[in-house]
Amino acid sequence: MKDLNKNNMNAVIYARVSSTNDRQSTDRQVIDLKSYAVKNDLNVVHTFEEHVSGAKRNEERPILCECLDYCIDNKVDTLLISELSRLGRNVDEVLANVKFCKDNKLNIYFQKENLSIFQADGTKNPFLNIFISVLGTCAEMERENIKFRLNSGRAKYIADGGKLGRKEGYRKPQEQKAEEYKNVLRELKKSTSIRRTAKLCDVSPSTVQRLKAEFAI
């Protein structure tokens, strides 16, 4: 990696939004990161933009994977990203990508957090992993709090006489079943055996048998 104080270093921008339609755009991220690049004498050689859910694993983010490969293959100095969450769906994935880039001497600058893997003198930033871990701990605590509140609310509902699940005697309308299991019914009408129908339609034999009786096939 070049000396980070040296001018004319190459940079790549990676921008991501969760929406796959036109409601969200990566434009704002790209504009802000290009502005940062100009102010810091970075030459942006490529911009990668991805529309994919933040819940997707890294291997399900093809543009991110392509971006990282491009940076390593072309010996890019700095990868510019708007915030840490763009680099993975959870702390473990973010840390894994940070380690990958660190091992390959690729610096990453996270604009929102104003953090980078390497400092201006080229040494590793000792605060980055700590910061990411703290964020992960906070996120885990929030998940546990949500889980606790859900369980508490469920327990109170039951204590007050509420019942979970479907109401007693509930049955799907026959029209709805006919639509939901139309493939099963079609096979049964063709005199396909119960076991083969179950295998073809990926349902249990008991479900096929019940539908056969209910629809008098």
Residues 77 and 13 in one domain: yes
Residues 54 and 101 in one domain: yes
pLDDT per position as a tens digit, 17-54: 886 554 578 999 999 999 999 999 999 999 999 988 77
- Does residue 73 fall inside a structural domain? yes
Name the range with the highest mean pLDDT among 9-18, 55-64, 178-187: 9-18
Residue percentage of the chain with pLDDT more than 70: 87
* Contact status, residue 143 vs residue 90, Cβ threshold 8 Å: no
The domain boundary, picked from 135, 154, 182, lies at 135
The domain boundary, picked from 135, 159, 193, lies at 135
Residues 116 and 25 in one domain: yes
- Does residue 142 fall inside a structural domain? no
Measured CA distances, 213 to 61, 95, 193, 210, 216 (Å): 47, 56, 14, 5, 5
Residues 97 and 200 in one domain: no
* Contact status, residue 174 vs residue 182, Cβ threshold 8 Å: no
Total domains in the chain come to: 2
- Does residue 166 fall inside a structural domain? no
pTM of this prediction?
Answer: 0.60
Range of the domain at 63: 9-135
Look at 173-177, 179-183, 194-198 and tell me which has the smallest mean pLDDT. Answer: 173-177
Residue 78's closest CA among 49, 30, 46?
Answer: 46
Residues 43 and 115 in one domain: yes
State residue 33's pLDDT score: 96
Residues 13 and 97 in one domain: yes
Q: Is the pLDDT of residue 198 over 50?
A: yes
* Exposure on the CB side of residue 190, measured as CA atoms within 13 A: 10
